[in-house]
Every structure is written in structure tokens, then in C-alpha cells.
Amino acid sequence: MTVSEVWEYLDRVAPKRYAENYDNVGLLIGDENADVTGVCCCLDITHSIIKEAAEKGANLIVSHHPVIFDALKSIPTWSPVAALVRQNIAAIAMHTNFDIAEGGVNDTLIELLEWTIDGVLEVTQSDGKGFGAVCDIPLEFTPQMLAEYCKEKLDLGGVRYSRVNRSIKRIAVCCGGGVDRTVMQLARERGCDAIISGDIKHNFWIEAENCGLTLIDAGHFGTEKAAAHKLAKLVTAEFSAVHVFSAECECDPCGYV
């Protein structure tokens, strides 16, 4: 199998057309005609990931976050881009297209939380797909109970949550850094009591307190770390003859005390 065959398959799973206009997905580095010797799947491409891929004989890395996002005017020697070129390792990114695809990152997050999806939060595609999901949960939570539940189910070192005590039965789930003013408004319109996401800015905590929403910040890494395992599972199912693995060295870059 070639690099292009892997990308063509992934494009069927989560079409590039689903990606946001600002995004950069697909084959970002490498020869599309190169034969694949192994595939390493990860959330972010770092030097540790590249080292593990090389040691395990993988010449293709499939990541969720693009190793090249903005236009590059230079490539310093410390950049992972330079390291990939030196090591002759190709890189494919599956970002916002994989966030919203069926069975993608957001769906995987909800699977880990063991909830059922009741609809899309923000429809962005003509086929009804979009960002985030709404879930009616079987038990009533308080903010602290919900934070503790997320910490356990997602195996996290810590979770931030709104301190105002409220009853929670309907929740919007948005992987990554999914909270902005549009999401806050849509969550209220859909009758949600809470939003689970990551990277939530201070002003939205204040807005949530004022408008009656509970926020749960389970971290960008925490809400998307399962992406690597899902990508590895998908690629393995299609290309079983090649060694496919999720990076063992990947961990939250933030520590907690």
C-alpha cells in the first residue's frame, strides 16, 4: 500500500470537504507514492512521536492536529516538520473533518462517556453533520458530580468546572477547544444545562454563570486523546498487512499539582 492509498481511504472515512476553511488536512509532508512500512497514529506530532515512529519502522504518521497549520515562511531545525523531512516520514492530518465525521473524535468522546447522542449541536454540512452533539443523560448530575464523572471516564489528571450548583440533565459535548459565543448560544437554544469541552476562556466562564449554564473543561488533550486509538483502529481494519499503532509515548503536555 502507498501513502496516497491510506489518505484516499481516510478521505472516505472523514472527507476533506468536512474540514473548516481555516484548516489544513490531508497529506502535508511526504511522497504520496511511497510504499508504507508502518503507520503511527497520534494526536500531535512531536519529536518524541517521530522518534517512536522511526524506531518502530513507520514511515507514515497520521495525526489529528496538523503538523503544518499556518503558512510557513521558514522551517527552523527544531521544528517537527524539519525532523519529518530528515527522517523521510510522511504526515497526514485528520482534523476538523475527523471531529465531525461519524465515528470521529466527538463521537468517540461520547462513547467514552457512555451517553447517547440526541442530535448535532451546530450543523455545518448539507448532510446534517456538524460540530458537537447534544446528549440527554440518564442520571441527574450536579456540576461537581459531572466533573468527577468526566475525570474518571476520560482518565484525567484534573477537570475544571463551574462552581455554581445547578441540576444537569442535558449536555452539549464539543471535543477540543469547542466553546465560543456561537456554541454558548446554541447550547442555550437546545435546552442544554451544561457544555463539556476544553480550553475554555475566562470570559465564557463568566457568561455561563450569568446565563445559567454549567461548563466542564476536561482539557483539549483530555477530550481528544482517544483520536489516536480510533485512527489506528480504522487504518488497521483497512490495511491489516501493515503494522499500525497509536503512539505509546504520547501524553498530556501539561502537568497538574
pTM comes to 0.96
pLDDT at residue 257, rounded to an integer: 80
Mean pLDDT, residues 167-188 taken together: 97
pLDDT at residue 97, rounded to an integer: 98
Q: What is the pLDDT of residues 56-68, one digit of tens each?
A: 999 999 999 999 9
Above 90 in pLDDT, residue 251? yes
Grid cell listed for 97: 473533518
Task: Give the length of the chain.
Answer: 257
pLDDT at residue 255, rounded to an integer: 87
Mean pLDDT, residues 91-103 taken together: 97
Mean pLDDT, residues 80-102 taken together: 98
Helix H, strand E, coil C: the string for the chain is CEHHHHHHHHHHHCCHHHCCCCCCCEEEECCCCCECCCEEEECCCCHHHHHHHHHCCCCEEEECCCCCCCCCCCCCCCCHHHHHHHHCCEEEECCHHHHHCCCCHHHHHHHHHCCCEEEEEEECCCCCCEEEEEEEEEEEECHHHHHHHHHHHCCCCCCEECCCCCCEEEEEECCCCCCCHHHHHHHHHCCCCEEEECCCCHHHHHHHHHHCCEEEECCHHHHHCCHHHHHHHHHHHHCCCCCEEECCCCCCCCCCC
Q: What is the pLDDT of residues 117-160, one digit of tens each?
A: 999 999 999 999 999 999 999 999 999 999 999 999 999 999 99
Above 90 in pLDDT, residue 163? yes
